[in-house]
Every structure is written in C-alpha cells, then in structure tokens.
C-alpha cells in the first residue's frame, strides 16, 4: 500500500489523489496533501529518498 509522503498515512493505490512527477507516481490521502506536495515537493524529496531501502546519501 502506498504511503502519503506528506502526512505518512498509508493509502490505497486506487486513491483519486495522485501526482506523477518525473515519471514517479505519488499517492495522497487528500487533495490538501497532494496540493502541499505539489507546492513544496523539494521539502519531501530528501525524506522519500531516505526511506527507500538500498538508497544512500
């Protein structure tokens, strides 16, 4: 189940709140989280990379 990168909630892949950025699909629990991510994606990029297994800084 995908995790909302803004609030950390797990959401179903069928959520209507999705954004595709540079070929990557991000899933959100609400329109508010999707909008927050879209407006401030750079604030969440480092956190998302840190959570992916096998990815090091």
Q: What's the confidence (pLDDT) of residue 46? A: 61
Task: List the chain pLDDT tens, one digit each, 57 residues.
Answer: 999 999 999 999 999 999 998 899 999 999 999 999 999 988 887 655 445 555 444
Going by their DSSP bridges, the two strands 24-27 and 18-21 should be labelled as antiparallel
Tokens 């990815």 sit on residue: 55
User: Rg (Cα) of the chain, in Å, rounded?
Assistant: 11
Q: Where are the domains positioned within the chain?
A: 1-57
Residues 6+ apart with CB under 8 A from 22: none
Residues 6+ apart with CB under 8 A from 15: 2, 27, 28, 29
Cross-strand bridge partners of residue 24:
21
């Amino acid at each position: 189940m995908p995790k909302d990168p803004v609030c950390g909630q797990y959401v179903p892949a069928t959520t209507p709140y999705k954004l595709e950025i540079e070929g990557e699909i991000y899933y959100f629990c609400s329109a508010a989280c999707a909008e927050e991510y879209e407006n401030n994606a750079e604030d969440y990029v480092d956190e998302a990379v840190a959570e992916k297994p096998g990815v090091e800084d």
